[in-house]
């Protein structure tokens, strides 16, 4: 997929909540810029106009109190704050109180150290680190509502062009929604420090045209490829502790501690965005999981070179 520019530009929203937030931000910025110009302008003028001159007496005339001025600098800031409060409340309410339409896609996102589990309960799909959603047109809105959870520590879901940040908190369901209006690739990032690999907890959001999304769903719903030529690697994989943490549907691998591998090779990156998902990088990752992403929770399986080749050959078939 070709990469659009402005991947993470907060001032270039393409989704309804992000648009609402950016409009509010501009209003606040302009009001604050106005106040800044007035204050600094007056200050500069006064510093120059009333600076001490040689002919001046020792002290300028002393003025005590002015009802008019005091009233002005009390009432104007109060009105400004009230206006900011009201417009902010309106935006928060509009974003938070949105109601899903029947056509809405529902996704549950679970934060892990340091990757994203992505589940589509109604569609029976489980994937990782890549959120695929349909584009939403004004005439035919199709937003995506996200339920956010965490299994370990606090994380934060942030895709600047789509919406504001929302935390993923253990033992709590948070929610947010996006409504992207243009297909493309948008990048996100965990925005809450969550441990050593916080910076490598990256997110890719792929917004599809409608038909494309249906195609993606159909592919993900298919059972994993079971290529008889890869039987050795498949058996080895199933006999190794890989299965305690990873799921490959229709095998004995049903762990949920690590990412679901049923369609591993349909994803663009490994390790939540650390490297491209190529057979070469996959081999390097399994040979020494601590090399590409030090501190991640995948152990070294101590495979022999031959076992490694078999398992990689099998995993590469999981399209
Ligand atoms: Cu997860 Cu920072």
Q: pLDDT 10s digit of each residue in the chain, 319 long?
A: 455 555 788 889 999 999 999 999 999 999 999 999 999 999 999 999 988 888 877 788 888 889 999 999 899 999 999 999 999 999 999 999 999 988 999 999 999 999 999 999 999 999 999 999 999 998 889 999 999 999 999 999 999 999 999 999 999 999 999 999 999 999 999 999 999 999 999 999 999 999 999 999 999 999 998 888 888 989 999 999 899 999 999 899 888 899 999 999 999 999 999 999 999 999 999 999 999 899 999 988 889 999 999 999 999 999 8
Q: Does residue 272's CB lie within 6 angstroms of at least one atom of ligand 1?
A: no
**Would you give the DSSP letter of residue 139?**
S
Q: Which atom of ligand 1 is nearest to the CA of 111?
A: 1
Cα 94 to ligand 1 centroid, rounded to whole Å = 27
Q: Does residue 155's CB lie within 6 angstroms of at least one atom of ligand 1?
A: yes
d(CA 46, CA 31): 23
Cα 121 to ligand 1 centroid, rounded to whole Å = 23
d(CA 79, CA 67): 18
Exposed/middle/buried for residue 18 (C-beta within 10 Å: 0-12, 13-18, 19+): buried
Cα 113 to ligand 1 centroid, rounded to whole Å = 7
What homologous superfamily is domain 228-316 in, according to CATH? Answer: Cupredoxins -  blue copper proteins (2.60.40.420)
Q: Does residue 114's CB lie within 6 angstroms of at least one atom of ligand 1?
A: yes
Asked whether 236 and 314 are in contact (CB, 8 A), the reply is: yes
CATH 2.60.40.420: which residues of the chain? Answer: 105-221, 228-316
Confidence (pTM): 0.87
**Which DSSP helix (H) or strand (E) runs through 43?**
helix 16-49
Tell me how far the alpha carbon of residue 194 is from its chain's centroid: 14
Cα 192 to ligand 1 centroid, rounded to whole Å = 5
Query: In this structure, which residue's CA is closest to atom 1 in ligand 1?
Result: 155
CA-atom Rg of the chain in angstroms: 27
Cα 199 to ligand 1 centroid, rounded to whole Å = 7
Q: Which atom of ligand 1 is nearest to the CA of 153?
A: 1
d(CA 19, CA 36): 25
Helix axes 279-287, 305-316, angle to 10 degrees: 140
Architecture of domain 105-221: Sandwich (2.60)
**Would you give the DSSP letter of residue 121?**
T
């Amino acid at each position: 997929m070709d990469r659009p520019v402005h991947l993470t530009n907060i001032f270039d929203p393409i989704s309804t909540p992000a648009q609402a937030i950016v409009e509010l931000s501009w209003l606040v910025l302009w009001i604050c810029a106005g106040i800044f110009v007035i204050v600094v302008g007056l200050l500069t003028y006064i510093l120059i106009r009333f600076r001490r001159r040689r002919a001046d007496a020792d002290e300028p005339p002393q003025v005590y109190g002015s009802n008019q001025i005091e009233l002005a600098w009390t009432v104007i800031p109060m009105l400004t704050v009230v206006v900011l409060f009201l417009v902010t409340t309106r935006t928060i309410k509009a974003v938070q109180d949105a109601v899903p339409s029947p056509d809405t896609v529902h996704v549950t996102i679970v934060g892990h150290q340091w990757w994203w589990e992505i589940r589509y309960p109604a569609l029976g799909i489980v994937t990782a680190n890549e959120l695929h959603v349909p584009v939403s047109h004004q005439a035919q809105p199709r937003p995506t509502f996200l339920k956010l959870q965490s299994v370990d520590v606090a994380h934060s879901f942030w895709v600047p062009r789509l919406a504001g940040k929302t935390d993923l908190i253990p033992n709590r369901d948070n929610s947010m929604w996006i409504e992207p209006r243009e297909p493309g690739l948008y990048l996100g990032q965990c925005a809450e420090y969550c441990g050593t690999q916080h910076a490598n907890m990256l997110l890719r959001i792929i917004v599809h045209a409608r038909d494309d999304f249906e195609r993606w769903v159909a592919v993900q719903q298919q059972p994993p490829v079971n290529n008889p030529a890869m039987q050795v690697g498949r058996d080895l994989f199933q006999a190794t502790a890989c299965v305690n943490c990873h799921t490959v549907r229709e095998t004995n691998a049903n762990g949920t501690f690590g990412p679901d591998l049923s369609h591993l090779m349909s994803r663009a990156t490994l390790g939540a965005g650390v490297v491209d998902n190529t057979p070469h990088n996959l081999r390097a990752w399994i040979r020494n999981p601590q090399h590409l992403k030090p501190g991640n929770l995948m152990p070294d399986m101590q495979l022999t070179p031959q076992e490694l080749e078999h398992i990689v050959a099998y995993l590469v078939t999981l399209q």
